[in-house]
Structure 1
Amino acid sequence: MKKQVVVAVSGGFDPIHIGHIRMFQEAKALGDELVVILNNDNWLADKKGKPFMPGVERKEIIEAIKGVDRVVLTDHTPGDPDRSVCRALREIKPDIFANGGDRKPDGDPVLEVDVCKELGIQMMYNIGVGGKVQSSSWLIAKVAKNFPDTKIYENKLHGTGKAV
């Protein structure tokens, strides 16, 4: 019997958008099982200041998407110095770790590259039709612009606003 090819993708998906859907579709076509590694609320709080959508809701939405076989929520703790998905990759041991249009081979976290090499996981890049076609931060900034009375807080890394 042929071994099932497991493909993993990762992200915050907060909020989910068309670029994410296209990445899921293309990643699924690379193998038999698609596992989405979903960065939890602690990870998002450290990156952006506050999640736009709670992790349990993001997980339920992603589980409902055709082609997604499993969603694994990361175990990041508040202030976790390890912002990688290495622990999840070690647990899942996918054959392929597919990265979207916002990720480049020379810009990847070294920890993830090293773990993939160690475990024999093939890393693939620019997965999804058309590269980076949308951004969760762009969507949130658009909401903030169109609804100026909405209270905004700053994205810790990029300085873009998020509606709360």
Structure 2
Amino acid sequence: MDAKHKIISYRQAGKVADQLHKAGKKIVFKSGCFDLFHIGHVRALQAAKNQGDILFISLGNDAWLRKYKGQGRPIFRQELRAELLASLACVDYVVIARESIANRIDHKKLFSIIKPQYYMLPPNDKALVEKRVFAKQYGAKIVFKSETRGKFASTTRLHVLLQSLG
């Protein structure tokens, strides 16, 4: 499948998820910004895919990323970040989130449409308490994947490093 065909709308995500549930497929859900893509992202996505049959990514949109990460972000527009994610073999579908943040979560509607069995989170998620309650409402099991340790372990650290280089 061409990478751009893996980037779908909320409506398409609902139709695809319904078909997958009927076929007995296990769906994994992961959200993130994925700006300044690095090895920690790759490993987390591969680990997410290993939890089930189909991996859906909710990609933080540009406006949300600017608000959440601050000035100068995103480095790459949402369309480019979506295409990069969709080009990975471990990613089945990418949906650009178009929701505002509700109780520190920016993908409530999409999650409720897809109804995944697994919800992949980093153990240091700042909204972990809220996401635990949210996952329980939909019967999704939370699965944790630690980020890669080291100076390239997060996009924020990588961004700071690049800024220091001038």
| Structure 2 segments unaligned to the other structure (5+ residues) | 1-21
% identity of equivalent residues = 28
What letter is aligned with 2:120?
Answer: A
Alpha-carbon distance in 2 for matches of 1:114, 1:101: 15
Q: Please give the TM-score of this superposition, normalised by the length of structure 2.
A: 0.75
Alpha-carbon distance in 2 for matches of 1:27, 1:68: 9
What letter is aligned with 2:132?
Answer: V
What is the deviation of 1:100?
Answer: 2.5
Match of 2:51 in 1: 30
Does residue 108 of structure 1 match 2:128?
Answer: yes
Runs of 4 or more above 6 Å deviation? none
CA RMSD after TM alignment: 2.1
Match of 2:65 in 1: 44
Alpha-carbon distance in 1 for matches of 2:99, 2:138: 21
Alpha-carbon distance in 1 for matches of 2:102, 2:135: 19
Alignment partner of 2:98: what SS?
A: coil
Q: Please give the TM-score of this superposition, normalised by the length of structure 1.
A: 0.76
Alignment partner of 1:71: what SS?
A: strand
What is the deviation of 1:18?
Answer: 0.6
Change (3 A) 1:55 1:44: same
Alignment partner of 1:123: what SS?
A: strand
Structure with the bigger percentage of helix = 2
Alpha-carbon distance in 2 for matches of 1:19, 1:48: 18
CA deviation vs aligned residue, 1:27-59 (integer Å, no higher than 9, x gap): 111110011111111210111223121111100
Match of 1:19 in 2: 40
CA deviation vs aligned residue, 1:54-80 (integer Å, no higher than 9, x gap): 111100000001110000111135xx5
Q: 1:69 aligns with which of 64, 88, 92?
A: 92
